[in-house]
Homo-oligomer: A and B are copies of this chain.
């Protein structure tokens, strides 16, 4: 009977079933920028784990636009997605309100908004940044610059704070001139480097809040004929594939992206299916990968 139905091309309508059961078997993932390899790899893991569990992923790319994010949150709630994975920038107060009263399960990926009660999955940003800065300090660097991410993101904030803290703990005074803003893109890393390297008293090392910006810094150094690591040390964050390239060889902090994505989905699904208890706050440990972009500071500059 069922076989006959199949042969005749019968397909059970998921829409009708969703209406009846109030379950769409669909999860929305909100990311800031999929072109960023970092997110792309998380998206892959998310998609895979979701597929295994029978869920589809609706991808929403906010391009870090506040209005697009709000639009998506509302559209997805209307679509009655079973849950949301939030990996874009911080939500507006109104969005949080809506999400809270609506009650659809949410998991924060790599951001930690205290105003929304939800499960959280991410990496120990503070620990990662500390590892990076201490590595640089151990080589004798004192003028360590920082290229940060957008302020609207908690990960960027945590990395920045930990950078400051690590310097203070080492008795190094923080020079505010050495802190440059970035937006996680390669171009913004290059631009920040242009600024930092033109300073009267330039840094001997730069710690970047992600690899893409570090790669931008390396490019800018190349353009200026500044040899890395002899004249300038660079450390990134993420450990994307390009960091391993023989021409780049970037020392960086490894973030287990596939795990992050997979855990985000399983956490969310457990919540959706009522299998979880208290709110989770899972933080994976990053570690330092030492490659070829760090060396002692040039003699002239060392203390």
Contact = CB atoms under 8 A, between A and B. Distances in A.
Contacts of A222: 246-247
A183 to B, nearest CB: 14
A79 B220 CA distance: 48
Contacts of A245: 186, 215, 219
Q: Name the prevailing secondary structure of the A interface residues.
A: helix
Contacts of A35: 37, 40-41, 44
Interface stretch (A15-23, A157-165, A281-289): A15-23
B68 A56 contact: no
A80 B44 contact: no
A194 to B, nearest CB: 12
A115 interface: no
A248 interface: yes
A231 to B, nearest CB: 16
A102 B56 contact: no
Interface of A: 9, 11-16, 18-19, 24, 26, 33-35, 37, 40-41, 43-44, 47-48, 51, 56-61, 63, 68, 71, 74-75, 77-80, 98, 101-102, 186, 215, 218-220, 222-223, 241-242, 245-248
Given A35-B40, A219-B246, A219-B247, 11 more contacts: A11-B77, A16-B19, A34-B40, A35-B41, A37-B37, A47-B61, A48-B61, A51-B68, A56-B58, A59-B59, A223-B246
8 contacts: A11-B77, A13-B19, A35-B44, A40-B40, A57-B58, A58-B59, A186-B241, A215-B245
